[in-house]
Amino acid sequence: MFLSKLKLKATAATAAAAMMAIAPTLGAASPLGSDPLRLVIPFGPGGGSDITARVLSATAPEFCGPRIDVVSMSGAAGLEAVNFVRNAEPNGHTLLVSDYGPIVTSGYIDDVDWSHDDWQPVMNFTEWQPTVYTRPDHHIQTIDDWMAYAEENPDTVTFGHASPLGIVHLPLILLEETTGIQNVHVPTSGGGETRSLVMGGHIDLGMTLPASIAPEVASGELTALGVFSEERASQLPDTPTFRESGYDVVLPAWLMIFATTDVPAETVEFLQDCFMEALESPTAQAMNDRVNAGIEPLNSEDATTLYQNTVASIGNILRDIGEIE
């Protein structure tokens, strides 16, 4: 018995020594240290960005090391969050999770002290299809219902959306330009607030992303009218595209994680690798399926190409509608 106890103590001591020998190597492999990471979102809680970021925050610490917090900052049409990340220490611990509105569009139309070249994508979560929806008891239940009512009653349909000239506003602008209809635009802090206003009967229509409303559409609490994309959203397979319905407006979007360009390249590479590994894990995939996030990640190189192409295309759209010269 005594010898068994000695063997156990010896085994424990050997294991502890081995762990101490390994620990510096593990620490050296990560440039992050132990301080928490922050994923800063330029919208209110409860929308598609928040839902998607929380899949990563729940699974990535196992692969990246530090705890990951999701922080919503919807002030100044998203610029509060963008500027917060821009002014943070460039160590990779404070990252922006955004669609093109607060970073690409704002880089064109707002008085900011940064340029599009000051941001580098760490990875892309997914491509999104902006979706118009309403309550199931509303008199508008299809795209054609909306077009007909808006033509007969201009400036009466109230339409909620976040981020002026962002991914859930710019498609509406293009549709109005194409069809000549006029709606009353109601800015909100994000997808969560828009959904609450629609469901509460305070506004007629809303625009958000499929992940934000798929559960309510499936349960019959909301009706999805149409999506602004080439193909139907996988989360809303019964909802037609606007092009299918005869309105040629297609403007999908993405959700990316950004660092500022002064964050060291090795830190960005480490974040990319551990985030991508986390999102491939069974836990992340199960969460993705449960919340209908539609995550299909792209690495930093591919995300950068997508970002640069979007900067060019949004610039062209804003010039076409007279927002910039």
- CB-based burial label for 25 (10 Å; 0-12, 13-18, 19+): exposed
All structural domains of the chain with their residue ranges: 35-128+253-320, 131-227
Instruction: State the Cα–Cα distance between residues 316 and 309, nearest whole angstrom.
Output: 11
* Fold of the domain spanning 35-128+253-320: D-Maltodextrin-Binding Protein; domain 2 (3.40.190)
Q: Which residues contact 15 (CB under 8 A, 6 or more apart)?
A: none
Mean pLDDT to the nearest integer, 154-168 = 90
Nearest residue to 99 via CA among 145, 50, 153, 138: 50
CATH number for 131-227 (one of 2.60.40.180, 3.30.2290.10, 3.40.1260.10, 3.40.190.10): it is: 3.40.190.10
pLDDT at 22: 36
| More reliable by pLDDT, 302 or 213 | 302
pLDDT at 4: 38
Max intra-chain CA distance, the chain: 93
Only one residue has tokens 């959203």, namely 233
Q: Which residues contact 124 (CB under 8 A, 6 or more apart)?
A: 254, 255, 256, 257, 297, 298, 302, 303, 306
Cβ atoms within 10 Å of 213's Cβ, excluding its own: 28
Q: Which residues contact 38 (CB under 8 A, 6 or more apart)?
A: 68, 69, 70, 71, 93, 94, 95
Mean pLDDT to the nearest integer, 218-227 = 97
Mean pLDDT to the nearest integer, 265-280 = 97
Nearest residue to 73 via CA among 106, 51, 41: 41
Nearest 10 degrees: CA dihedral of 259, 262, 265, 270? -40
Nearest 10 degrees: CA dihedral of 316, 321, 324, 325? 80
Q: Take residue 131 and report the two structure tokens written for it.
A: 């979706």
In contact, 37 and 95? CB cutoff 8 Å? yes
Q: Is pLDDT of 20 > 90?
A: no
Mean pLDDT to the nearest integer, 147-174 = 92
Nearest residue to 91 via CA among 37, 45, 128, 137: 37
Instruction: State the Cα–Cα distance between residues 183 and 146, nearest whole angstrom.
Output: 10
Q: Which pTM was predicted? A: 0.78
